[in-house]
């Protein structure tokens, strides 16, 4: 079935509902602004509607580096506020701000993130902050190792699962 046939077979009004989801109305407004050569307004519209990736890609595609940096900065602030520290750190690294990326990752409670934050802080020349973050990561590691309830059991591999299923099926067949 071709796409046009599928669209024709959908219930009446489905296309309108679909255009209102997935950022449809925002996309339509942004395309209209782009047709009017208002790239800055289109980027601002995407940013105010939380479409940070689309705004950043639009800026990069149009070679508007200053707008792209502003979009990336707003995206990083949004991710930081939402406690998505790895995404915020990636944005700050793309901006070239290693110190801010280390500061954001230093808020994490994951040992791997804290190790990376300590390495970035050392690279940026902040030995005191690097030591603080490394100590925080070490405390988390010690707590995890000392408390067996926090340790996750080792999961079986696919081969082990298949073998156990095969063994169970052999037992059922032999009965």
Same domain, 65 and 112: no
The answer to whether the beta carbons of residues 108 and 87 sit under 8 Å apart is no
Residue 44 in any domain: the answer is yes
Residue 157 lies in a domain: no
Half-sphere exposure of 172 (CA within 13 A, CB side): 6
Domain, as residue range, for 109: 87-148
pTM score, whole prediction = 0.69
pLDDT in tens, 102-150: 999 999 988 899 999 999 999 999 999 999 999 998 998 888 888 776 6
For residue 141, what pLDDT is reported? Answer: 85
Number of domains within the chain: 2
User: Considering the domain boundaries, does residue 143 fall inside one?
Assistant: yes
Same domain, 91 and 72: no
Residue 165 counted as domain residue = no
In a domain, 160, yes or no: no
Which of 60, 82, 104 is the last residue in one of the domains? Answer: 82
Identify whether residues 76 and 30 lie together within a single domain. Answer: yes
131 shares a domain with 56: no
Q: Which residues contact 91 (CB under 8 A, 6 or more apart)?
A: 72, 73, 75, 76, 79
Q: Decide if 175 is inside a domain.
A: no
75 and 106 fall within a common domain:
no
Cβ atoms 141, 111 nearer than 8 A: yes
Same domain flag for 25 and 73: yes
Question: Poorest-confidence range of 50-59, 69-78, 125-134, 153-162?
Answer: 153-162
> Are residues 6 and 76 both part of a single domain?
yes
Q: How many helices (H) and strands (E) does the chain have?
A: 11, 0
Residues 58, 98 within the same domain: no
Answer whether residue 171 is part of any domain: no
């Amino acid at each position: 079935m071709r796409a046009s046939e599928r669209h024709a077979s959908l219930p009446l009004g489905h296309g309108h509902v679909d255009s209102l989801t997935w950022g449809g109305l925002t996309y339509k407004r942004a395309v209209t602004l782009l047709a009017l050569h208002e790239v800055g307004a289109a980027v601002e519209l995407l940013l105010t509607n939380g479409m940070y990736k689309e705004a950043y890609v639009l800026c990069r595609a149009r070679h508007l580096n200053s707008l792209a940096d502003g979009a990336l900065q707003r995206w990083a602030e949004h991710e930081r506020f939402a406690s998505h520290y790895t995404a915020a750190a990636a944005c700050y690294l793309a901006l070239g701000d290693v110190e801010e990326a280390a500061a954001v990752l230093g808020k994490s409670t994951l040992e791997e993130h804290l190790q990376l934050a300590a390495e970035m802080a050392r690279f940026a020349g902040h030995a005191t902050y690097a030591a603080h973050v490394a100590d925080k990561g070490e405390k988390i590691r010690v707590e995890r190792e000392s408390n067996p309830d926090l340790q996750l059991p080792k999961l079986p591999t696919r081969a082990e699962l298949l073998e156990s299923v095969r063994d169970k099926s052999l037992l059922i067949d032999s009965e």
